[in-house]
Amino acid sequence: MRAGLCRCLGRRRRAGVPHLADRGARGRRRRNLGWTRSAIHLAATVFGVLAVAGSFLFAVNVDGQLTLGAGALFMFGVVALCVGATGPIVSITAAVPRRWGGAGRLATATIERAPRRIWATVMTIVIAVGVSVGVSGSLTNMTDSAAESLSSLADTDLYVSMTSPDAIPSGPIVPASVDDAVRATPGVSRIVEGQWAYATIDGETVSIQGVADGSNAVTLASLSDDIRSGVLAGDGVVLSKALGTTLGVSEGDSIDLPTPTGVQNVRVLDLVDYINAAGGTMAISLDSMQRWYDRPGATYLEIGVDGDVAAVQDSLRAALPPEAFVYTGAAALEGTSAAIRQSGALAIALQWIVALVAAVALLNTLTLSVLERRRELGVLRAMGGGRGTLARMVLAEALSVGIVGGVLGLIIGAGLQYLSTLILGASIGIPVAYTASWSVLLYGLVALGLSLLGSAPPAVHASRLNIVDAIAAD
């Protein structure tokens, strides 16, 4: 018996040697894995810094639609930075619920045991909040800047044209009978004619505005007195900066303008900020436009009123045929800005879709977390943990994710908003002023709302677990 026992112990000792070797190998593998992860995080951080910095340089130095690439580069950089900061993000998320009682400490333990899952969940909130803040803020800035750039339209009391106020009045010439009726209407003190038309220059469709002295045209509003006088006298033309970039010309250069009466060589007096229309915008004197395009008359009339504008508007509508449109300067500004607001409304609708996707992703993540820990939750219940404790644990985990993701999303969203103002300014042809608003804090509350919305079903499921079934689960 003693010999058999010795042989058994010997086998155990011999069997233990490879076991210790395996433990050493596993330790080396863990160290190697740790070094690999550290290298990945460092590389991601470096790439993220370069990408974020590069996105701003790209937006500042590139013109036109190509600047849209800066937004994608910024988001790649943000994700890379967050990959590099996985450890701090998870640590902060775990620290938040630690002081929330027993359920909070359980949530902290759960967060620390699943760092990759928590990071992915936090990033879902970060992307949703960051995109929402960046998109909504920059679109608000764009709308305000566009309205400011077009504000001279509202300086005119009334407009008369054969085109509705929500479109550029490049349509039919105002009939002579309409012009005579306008001039005969009591209260009309001033009439300034103007024309809009389209032409093709070097393959680009260009909108051309013929302006006369006394006009409140946007193309004249930002000009110096000397340049304005030169345009009105027919000494040259003014181009939008977008058109100047497309044609490769600058102030003082000359361009060939194809017209029905022949090619006209005109000098560029200035390049101005103007919202991109078609391929760009050009302003010339009304007299030159009428002669070169063999198009006498006007496509719209700017009307000054002495007295009650509304009363004169009613008189004009009664005197003019129904196909003539009579609208105020405010209506002209509203109609011109409508397309910009519509694009903003579409983008805001898309951001709510992003928020909904974030809520669904959070719901799936927390539900899987509860299902994976059924046995653990069952043991907690068997040890005396109440249903409310388990529900509060899930809610604490979700709230922690929402708080960290919301704050980080607000910071990233502010950066994205500023970058987006640069991108939009290059895209639409006017500078877009960055203005921060306290309303962005609403998106922080949205992050908490998404967290609560996504955590409610898993919390209810956790509180209703059957102890026996949970412990017996595979």
Return the minimum-mean-pLDDT range out of 10-19, 63-72, 170-179: 10-19
Task: Identify the pLDDT of residue 116.
Answer: 86
The two three-digit tokens of residue 209, written as one number = 């505005």
Nearest to 141 by CA among 345, 343, 434: 434
DSSP letters along 172-238, please? SPPPHHHHHHHHHSTTEEEEEEEEEEEEEETTEEEEEEEE-TT---HHHHTS-HHHHHHHHTTS-EE
Q: Whole-model pTM?
A: 0.77
Widest pairwise Cα distance in the chain? 131
Task: Identify the pLDDT of residue 130.
Answer: 86
Task: Identify the pLDDT of residue 8.
Answer: 42
Given a contact cutoff of 8 angstroms between Cβ atoms, the answer to whether 178 and 320 are in contact is yes
Checking if the pLDDT of 448 tops 80, the result is no
Over pLDDT 90: what percentage of the chain?
29
In angstroms, the CA 181 to CA 420 distance is 48
Checking if the pLDDT of 267 tops 90, the result is yes
Checking if the pLDDT of 201 tops 60, the result is yes
Checking if the pLDDT of 376 tops 70, the result is no
Mean pLDDT (the chain, rounded):
81
In angstroms, the CA 467 to CA 382 distance is 6
Could you tell me the residue ranges of all domains in the chain? Answer: 89-151+337-407+434-474, 163-323
Checking if the pLDDT of 459 tops 70, the result is no
What is the per-residue pLDDT across 298-310, written as a single tens digit (0 to 9) for each?
A: 999 999 999 899 9
In angstroms, the CA 365 to CA 394 distance is 11
Q: Which residues on neighbouring strands pair with residue 192, listed in sequence order?
A: 302
